[in-house]
């Protein structure tokens, strides 16, 4: 036996003996346990109806899967939290998994919200639009849809059939003649009185019935109206109704899988292969398919299907309302507990089912086939991506292939509406859920100072990283930064990182070469000579794709900001003037400029504007220098 040096501390014990020692302090209460390694990093978070019984299973010397055996061997300590019920333990477990991201837990990595269709009810003539996020606006919500594309397709169809407006309230209030949407028969033009209030309300009611799945009722009503118009010899109106019926028929034919016997359900299918998993979710609402989305949860170093499915369901519906029925391809570990948790989340009963035959089984099989094919494509793409990352490491002398690349770019027009953009890429390709936009707040934007803008963006990004994850326990830290620019930008970014004490993040500046020709890019690294890659090098094409994606993202953010600025009015800055008062003022005076010139008596004549508010508006426009 080798003697330890006098100043060397013995390694802390790990494995079954550590777990066995904790058993003495546990009782049969429900709760959550955490397993930690010697560096106090959380390896695994689990729940139990009986903590003592569950932990005693880990203390057994054999009978574990390879994944659990590795986890036990690394365990140096444990932490426990008791709860009143197993349901509370399940909810707490999933919150801790999302927060801590333990290595051996199944983790859903895509938490992007899903869009809905909203028919607003705060305006006499409701607007039909896409909505994402909290449902704070008054109106009827329909969803979720799998993607913005699925929502946009449905909105396009609804406009053809029901002729509801999609313009903003301010645009509606300022119209004096019909817009193009009316000319191409996608709007009934309520803004200029082409349809009255009751008539528009009928269109809204028909659209809501359609989105609720009552398509036969809508179609029958339209057919009856067309017949009545023909008998009354109102042939132009009859032709318009005929066109709407034709559009409605095309919508019904083009929606793909429309189950007759399933009014509302999510179809969740899992395919597991080679330690990687794909989960496909199909959204069925109102007997219509509203699209599908694939997810690739981290499998916790080898979890099996029931554990993956349970973790996916509890994490996926953590911030989403589950439907009444969830059709599954595989069982979950605790079906009754998961159903109880989802029912509590929805405020009504939620049923989990694994159909064996009939239409529901066909829906699950279709989703499972999509999951299988999606995972195969992803594994093939991942193999190619890994080769490119290895080539990138070789080209730029990196210690290892980067797991996370962050690419930065700025966009502005002569200093106006300046924004910075960050895109992220890794072994799984572009990680679009982690893209970020930065509104430039400093004078660097107004001065068209690209160095200053890059300094602001990088400073804000890394100061936040240092605050949220100073010990770098998450995968949010980049291994490589790609900067759009040459030696000057690289030097500026290097200075920022040095000021923040960050010395181990590699950085490369990408600059257009001779004649700014793509293919002649030059690459700049701090303290090293400028370099280039061969024109036919796959790594060069890869870097170009990364740079172009960052450019597209930053330019898109700039265009959106500029469009928002164009539609803004001085009324947006008046204290106490919200959307309703703004509409009333614009409708009364016709423009923000006319509001600014109005006297107190004129302002108080506007519906909803009190004497005090009139004074506030008048002072805002007449006391500014």
Mean pLDDT of 580-594: 79
End-of-domain residue from the set 71, 100, 129: 100
Backbone φ, ψ for residue 70 (5° rounding): -65, -40
Mean predicted lDDT score pLDDT of the chain = 85
Residues 418 and 469 reside in one and the same domain: yes
Q: Kindly state the DSSP code that residue 50 receives in the 8-state scheme.
A: S
End-of-domain residue from the set 519, 544, 565: 565
Residues 344 and 414 reside in one and the same domain: no
Question: What H or E segment, with its residue span, contains residue 413?
Answer: strand 404-413
Q: Does the pLDDT value for residue 566 go beyond 70?
A: no
**Interatomic CA distance for residues 400 and 48, integer angstroms:** 40
| Domain total of the chain | 4
Residue 254 has what pLDDT? 47
Residues 544 and 586 reside in one and the same domain: no
Q: Does the pLDDT value for residue 389 go beyond 60?
A: yes
Query: Given phi > 0 = left and psi -120 to 50 = alpha, else beta, which region is 353?
Result: beta
| CATH at 612 | 1.10.150.20
Domain enclosing residue 575, as ranges: 570-622
Q: Is 621 exposed, middle or buried (0-12, 13-18, 19+ CB in 10 A)?
A: middle
**Interatomic CA distance for residues 315 and 321, integer angstroms:** 12
CA atoms within a 13 Å half-sphere pointing along the CA-CB vector of 436: 16
Residues 288 and 416 reside in one and the same domain: no
**Domain assignment present for 106:** no
Identify the CA nearest to 153 among candidates 263, 247, 251: 251
Percentage with pLDDT > 70 across the chain: 89
Residues 32 and 52 reside in one and the same domain: yes
H helices present in 351-482, as ranges: 358-395, 443-446, 450-468
Backbone φ, ψ for residue 426 (5° rounding): -160, -155
**Domain assignment present for 93:** yes
Percentage with pLDDT > 90 across the chain: 36
Higher pLDDT, 562 or 297: 297
| CATH at 47 | 3.40.1440.10
Residues 555 and 580 reside in one and the same domain: no
Residues 583 and 541 reside in one and the same domain: no
Higher pLDDT, 126 or 471: 126
Residues 592 and 469 reside in one and the same domain: no
**Domain assignment present for 166:** no
Condensed to tens digits (0 to 9), the pLDDT of residues 30-74 reads 999 999 999 889 999 999 999 999 999 999 888 888 889 999 999
Higher pLDDT, 295 or 448: 295
**Domain assignment present for 173:** no
Q: Does the pLDDT value for residue 552 go beyond 80?
A: yes
Residue 514 has what pLDDT? 63
The dihedral built from the CA positions of residue 281, 286, 289 and 292, taken in this order, carries a sign that is negative
Residues 291 and 306 reside in one and the same domain: yes
| CATH at 444 | 3.30.420.340
**Interatomic CA distance for residues 155 and 99, integer angstroms:** 36
Q: Does the pLDDT value for residue 560 go beyond 80?
A: no
**Domain assignment present for 256:** no
**Domain assignment present for 276:** yes
Mean pLDDT of 417-423: 86
Q: Does the pLDDT value for residue 328 go beyond 90?
A: yes
**Interatomic CA distance for residues 503 and 494, integer angstroms:** 9
For 392, residues 6+ apart whose C-beta sits below 8 A from its C-beta are 398, 401, 402, 405, 480, 539, 542, 543
CA atoms within a 13 Å half-sphere pointing along the CA-CB vector of 603: 24
Residues 293 and 428 reside in one and the same domain: no
Residue 625 has what pLDDT? 45
End-of-domain residue from the set 330, 356, 376: 376
Higher pLDDT, 569 or 347: 347
**Domain assignment present for 354:** yes
Condensed to tens digits (0 to 9), the pLDDT of residues 237-264 reads 677 667 666 666 655 544 445 677 888 9
**Interatomic CA distance for residues 180 and 189, integer angstroms:** 10
**Domain assignment present for 498:** yes
Residues 439 and 537 reside in one and the same domain: yes
**Interatomic CA distance for residues 305 and 297, integer angstroms:** 12
Residues 424 and 482 reside in one and the same domain: yes
């Amino acid at each position: 036996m080798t003697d330890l040096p006098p100043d060397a501390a013995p390694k802390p014990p790990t494995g079954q003996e550590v777990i066995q020692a904790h058993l003495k302090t546990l009782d049969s209460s429900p709760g959550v346990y955490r397993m930690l390694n010697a560096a106090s990093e959380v390896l695994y978070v689990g729940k139990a109806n009986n903590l003592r019984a569950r932990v005693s299973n880990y203390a057994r010397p054999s009978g574990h899967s390879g994944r659990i055996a590795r986890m036990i061997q690394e365990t140096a300590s444990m932490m426990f939290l008791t709860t009143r019920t197993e349901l509370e333990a399940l909810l707490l477990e999933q919150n801790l998994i999302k927060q801590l991201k333990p290595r051996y837990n199944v983790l859903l990595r895509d938490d992007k919200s899903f869009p809905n269709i909203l028919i607003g009810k705060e305006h006499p003539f409701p607007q039909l639009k896409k909505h994402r996020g909290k449902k704070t606006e008054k109106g009827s919500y329909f969803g979720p849809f799998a993607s913005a594309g699925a929502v946009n397709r449905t909105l396009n169809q609804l406009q053809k059939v029901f002729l509801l407006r999609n313009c903003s309230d301010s645009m509606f209030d300022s119209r004096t003649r019909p817009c193009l949407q009316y000319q191409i028969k996608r709007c009934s033009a309520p803004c200029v009185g082409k349809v009255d209030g009751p008539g528009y309300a009928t269109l809204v009611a028909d659209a809501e019935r359609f989105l609720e799945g009552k398509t036969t009722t809508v179609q029958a009503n339209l057919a009856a109206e067309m017949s009545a118009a023909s008998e009354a010899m109102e042939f132009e109106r009859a032709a318009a109704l005929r066109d709407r019926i034709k559009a409605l028929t095309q919508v019904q034919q083009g929606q793909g899988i429309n189950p007759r016997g399933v009014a509302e359900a999510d179809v969740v299918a899992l395919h597991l292969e080679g330690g990687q998993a794909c989960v496909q979710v199909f959204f069925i609402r109102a007997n219509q398919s509203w699209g599908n989305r694939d997810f690739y949860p981290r499998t916790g170093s080898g979890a099996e299907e029931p554990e993956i499915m349970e973790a996916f369901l509890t994490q996926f519906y953590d911030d989403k309302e589950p439907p009444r029925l969830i059709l599954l391809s595989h069982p979950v570990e605790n079906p009754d507990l998961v159903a109880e948790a989802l029912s509590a989340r929805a405020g009504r009963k939620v049923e989990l089912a694994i159909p064996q035959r009939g239409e529901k089984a066909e829906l699950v099989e279709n989703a499972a086939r999509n999951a299988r094919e999606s995972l195969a494509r992803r594994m093939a793409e991942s193999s190619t991506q890994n080769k490119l990352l290895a080539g990138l490491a070789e080209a730029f002398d990196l210690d290892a292939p980067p797991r996370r690349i962050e690419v930065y770019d700025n966009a502005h027009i002569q200093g106006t509406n300046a924004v910075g953009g960050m895109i992220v890429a890794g072994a799984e390709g572009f990680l679009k859920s982690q893209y970020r936009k930065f509104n430039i707040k400093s004078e660097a934007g107004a001065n068209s100072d690209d160095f200053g803008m890059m300094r602001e963006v990088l400073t804000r990004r890394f100061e936040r990283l240092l605050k949220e994850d100073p010990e770098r326990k998450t995968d949010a830290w980049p291994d490589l930064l790609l900067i759009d620019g040459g030696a000057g930008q690289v030097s500026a970014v290097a200075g920022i990182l040095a000021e923040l004490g960050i010395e181990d993040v590699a950085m490369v500046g990408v600059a257009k070469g001779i004649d700014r020709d793509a293919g002649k890019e030059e690459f700049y690294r701090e303290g090293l000579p400028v370099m280039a890659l061969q024109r036919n090098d796959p790594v060069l094409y890869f870097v170009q794709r990364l740079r172009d994606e960052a450019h597209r993202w930053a330019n898109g953010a700039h265009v959106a900001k500029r469009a928002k600025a164009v539609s803004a009015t001085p009324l947006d800055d008046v204290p106490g003037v919200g959307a309703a008062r703004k509409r009333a003022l614009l409708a009364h005076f016709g423009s923000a400029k006319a509001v600014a010139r109005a006297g107190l008596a004129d302002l108080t004549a506007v519906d909803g504007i009190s004497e005090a508010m009139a004074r506030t508006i008048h002072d805002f426009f007449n006391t500014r220098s």
